[in-house]
Structure 1
């Protein structure tokens, strides 16, 4: 039988399950309402109210609805990753006043890729050799102030480079040599070092060495998105899953066009690079762009007033209780948002800060709070894991720390009620 005859025969067959037209016109079946699958409940994963902040181990932030919509809609189409990075990078660069930009899988990834771009340039042979620097002619040292050399700088070590610590401008002048690839600055510890932003940039320009700055969690204020590009830093690294409320697994590398182009050669979709594992899919790239666009367009004054109202509600619920003192502060750098510290007299309230956090965590609803006065960058992965250097100091501290910027509307009332309940319970049981 010829192929044409076979196809003709198939078209004559009725579709499986088909019904006559007359019957279908008189028989209607109500469309079942799809039930949303609760995968958290199905797997036994605890969800909670986030009164602690944009912590990675707490899944960072909640993405904006517009970001989720873009992720869902773009997941239904194929496209070329490089083309998406090209187009999105151009738009982001315009928004942040940089020559070029790319979406990375977080600020840590931006640091590795930025340095890799400096080391290799657009020499594919060098790209293939990282992190093996010996005998390649590539540079191998990153200089930063001692107070700026914290754990996230491991991102630079991934390229094969080492960190050289300095404290003064004179130290920098002595440390610079033919191996120096980068002068790096950590914004959150800017007030802890002797050399300030503009001086750091000036040193880089004097010696023709690129300068970079890590501002991972340093919006708000929104102006920080372009402040350091305008100041003259050659590379700026930022997280996407914090105040910007993009994908938690995304970040942005922005800076000089030639360095970003070289960084792109070290990044996926290329498969022979030190950063092959730094994949960012099309949905995340586009979602990050939309998140940034929406964040810049936000009414930040209105948003700030909402945070103040929520944090004041929590403060008012507990400040008049016996033995309680409260204080609202605003960090100078990093996670700049109204932050409430609640402290208590342990002769009145028989409770430690850790016990309070555990009771909030294990209560209904489950709530996550933070340690009062502890910078967020001290936290490590894990439910209560912090820098060992400060853990002992906080072990018996009678204090908790609460922020409102990750709270959803109305959640401040639940947080206020639960903290008040636990303080009153601990006070009543002191005898």
Structure 2
């Protein structure tokens, strides 16, 4: 192209990039793609609903705060090195949670896998490349209490580590051997196990064995974000997409600096490791930090009173139906927020919990609750948006009254 033709071309050509300006690429089709905002929910025929069930993965967990979305959207127009982001965000999260170090993972499950991998391999690249094959590894076992040996144990065992089950402190002492790599504690099952946190940690420290605790859904209370670090656990694993309201596919692994360093070597962007597929993108890492920063600054006492008020609205409405009884409890560990149970006398109300769940799901607006027994349901309010408590109250009352 001749010089004069090039100048002429540049005078009419669209901008294709802006070095250092953070301007997204434009093209001849830019006007077409931005002219009309697509409603993908409507386009795909997806059902949306009022979430009176809770932060279940099946229900897409929680809704992100506007400042989390802003962190995601603003970072999406820039290139950055993912390790730099993890470095900076990890420092901030560690400071908030009073840990030596931290990293953002692709959910709590990934935190469990990568944390275990880090314990098994350290920074040995040969061992990292070998997982989940533990041939030649000296330490290959993880001690777990019988009451804690439930479905979530599949996360750490992705690394190839073998579970050794114990019940009592005496059992634990006998189970420890030269093969013991770590001791895993499921916080959700605390009240079911015979060995509590302090005794578990004391025995681990006596034998210099790393400890990991899974507190996936155990926020609130907010203090749990640093409680287990201060207690002495070497690694703490948290879900980011539940009450903290970060990206659903994000989580946090925090704890001892050497173990976090090893976990990161087992994780993306590094290849030739067990965690390569557990990617967490820049938007999720920054969004997770924004969510955590927002969450710890909330007025949690005020938030709790708001939840109690929402429960009262629903409870008052349904108790007007003859044959209905209600109970409000607070789960002691996971999903720690007011839980409303609504039960009814089937002699007076000819409806099962399956029937009620389906009626609410198929109504307008659609509402999701959780069945508890054949004649009772559970409702949580901490994922409700302002005003939705009144809608839930009206709809549940309507359905129970209709068949009474």
**1:412 alignment partner in structure 2:** 389
Structural mapping, 1:76-225, within 5 Å: 76-135=77-136, 137-225=137-225
Query: Which SS does the other structure have where 2:370 is aligned?
Result: coil
Shift of residue 125 of structure 1? 0.8
8 Å CA contact 1:119–1:138 kept in 2: the answer is no
Does 2:40 match 1:39? yes
Deviations 1:181-237 (A, max 9, x none): 111111111011110111111111011001111100001100000000000000100
Query: Which SS does the other structure have where 1:90 is aligned?
Result: helix
Structural mapping, 1:63-82, within 5 Å: 63-82=64-83
Structure 1 segments unaligned to the other structure (5+ residues): 18-32, 373-393
**1:15 alignment partner in structure 2:** 12
Structure 2 segments unaligned to the other structure (5+ residues): 15-33
Deviations 1:53-104 (A, max 9, x none): 0001100100111000110000000111111101110110000011100000
RMSD after superposition: 1.4
Larger Rg: 1
Query: Which SS does the other structure have where 1:133 is aligned?
Result: coil
Query: Which SS does the other structure have where 2:190 is aligned?
Result: helix
Distance 1:307 1:35 in 2: 38
Structural mapping, 1:210-359, within 5 Å: 210-359=210-359
Distance 2:160 2:200 in 1: 23
Evaluate the alpha carbon distance shift between residue 138 and residue 278 of structure 1 in structure 2; reply closer, same or farther with a 3 A threshold: farther
8 Å CA contact 1:114–1:235 kept in 2: the answer is yes
**1:399 alignment partner in structure 2:** 376
8 Å CA contact 1:156–1:162 kept in 2: the answer is no
8 Å CA contact 1:120–1:138 kept in 2: the answer is no
Query: Which SS does the other structure have where 1:192 is aligned?
Result: coil
The alignment's TM-score, normalised by the length of structure 1, stands at: 0.87
Distance 1:168 1:304 in 2: 37
Distance 2:144 2:8 in 1: 76
8 Å CA contact 1:106–1:251 kept in 2: the answer is yes
The alignment's TM-score, normalised by the length of structure 2, stands at: 0.93
8 Å CA contact 1:75–1:283 kept in 2: the answer is yes
Shift of residue 10 of structure 1? 3.8
Deviations 1:319-356 (A, max 9, x none): 12110000111111110111100000000111111111
- Which aligned runs of 4 or more in structure 1 are off by greater than 4 angstroms? none
Distance 1:417 1:7 in 2: 73
8 Å CA contact 2:138–2:178 kept in 1: the answer is no
